Copies of this chain bind each other. A is one copy, B any other.
Amino acid sequence: MSDPSVISFAGGVPNPATFPAEALAAAAGRAIRERRDEALQYGPTAGLPALRERIARRLSEGGIATDPADLCLTTGSQQALDLIARVLVDPGDGVVVESPAYVGALACFRARQARFLSVSRDDSRVDAGGLKETVRRFRARGGTARVLYTIPTFQNPSGWTLSAAGRAELLACAAELDLFVVEDDPYGEVHFEAPPPAPLAALDRDGRVAYLGSFSKTLSAGVRCGFVRAPRELLEKIELAKQAADLCSSSLDQWTLALYFEGNDYDAHLSSVRAFYGRQKAVLLEAIAASWPSEVAVSDPAGGLFCWARLPEGEDADPLLARSLEEKKVAFIPGAAFFPEETPDNRRYFRMTFAKETPERLREGAKRLGELLA
């Protein structure tokens, strides 16, 4: 798959060394041996009750009051996104997405033949004024726009996080425009210092937010277990769509996580995951600071897996990648794919993950790329 001689800032996957393999292996073995009749059998479409309870409790402690019946477990949070797109988006509908945005979400909405209404954001706010104008203009021409999709925290691809004020503003704006908000939060637990501001779902007072979570960055990406917390009426539709989509997610995966939580200290594990990625980010950003020209701006995320780099005006990350692979054996992802629309300016960006490489290779990769950028 990947050439080990290439130092890779590409890819969007976690580092499996952070996963609690021994504890998960023990949990999986127990799941099959002690819970055979459930772990090897079809389960409820909405997910294993014991795991829904565990997740509901954790969300409630984190400020999102949740009953197990508010949750549907999914095959990763990607499936939750896809089901929501199926249920809420009709062909031709406008969907508000950030610019840049998670490519996997754009794919789900494209599959529904949505039209993108893009709103620009930075490291604390979305452009609320621009959002209102875009939606109103679209609606004035007869368009239907009901959904806004966002990763407020440690965003993929940018690493940016909406501030508390930025969140309040976004939610007020959604209320004013009567938009339903899909809050995708796969990285929120992976904060390097203080926890991020409260999720939109914790601020929501009128059932306007669906909250998507995942264990893919903290426990395992291959144990495919995400979830969506949504208002009941929407949840019923999601569950019906999931029934047709795959009957239920892996019972083995769900039981493995349920028994992992029963027998292990998840918070202690999270601390080690946070420390790991925090160190990785620090190594990469220090190496970048030491050798990159100041005209290349790089985001400094407070969590998650990604940095976002911007080349000087007029530059293009695509040919840079070709040269980087050829001359320096360093990979990254050009930013154009992350934008709902193509513009020359969007070609200035590229995404780097600090998740996968060793500190030595992070330093070496940054140095080599710095030589090219100089």
Contact = CB atoms under 8 A, between A and B. Distances in A.
A241 B245 CA distance: 12
Interface residues of A, number: 54
A324 interface: no
A32 B40 contact: no
B244 A42 contact: no
A244 B13 contact: no
Given A21-B33, A78-B245, A13 B42 contact: yes
Contact of A246 (B21, B29, B42, B79): B79
B42 A21 contact: no
A138 to B, nearest CB: 23
Interface string A241-268: 1011111111111011000000000000
A353 to B, nearest CB: 13
Contacts of A241: 111
Nearest to A22: B33
Contacts of A253: 250, 252-253
A111 B29 CA distance: 37
A253 B107 CA distance: 25
Given A19-B40, A40-B19, A221-B41, A107 B244 contact: yes
Interface in A49-97: 74-76, 78-79, 82, 86
Interface in A14-34: 14, 16, 19, 21-22, 24-26, 28-29, 31-33
A222 B33 contact: no
Given A78-B245, A244-B108, A16 B37 contact: yes
20 contacts: A13-B42, A16-B37, A19-B40, A21-B32, A25-B33, A40-B223, A78-B245, A104-B244, A104-B247, A108-B244, A111-B244, A220-B252, A222-B251, A223-B250, A223-B251, A223-B252, A224-B248, A246-B246, A250-B252, A252-B253
Interface of A: 13-14, 16, 19, 21-22, 24-26, 28-29, 31-33, 36-43, 74-76, 78-79, 82, 86, 104, 107-108, 110-111, 216, 220-224, 241, 243-253, 255-256
Given A111-B244, A220-B252, 15 more contacts: A13-B41, A19-B36, A24-B32, A24-B40, A42-B221, A75-B75, A76-B246, A76-B247, A78-B246, A79-B245, A82-B246, A104-B243, A104-B247, A107-B243, A222-B252
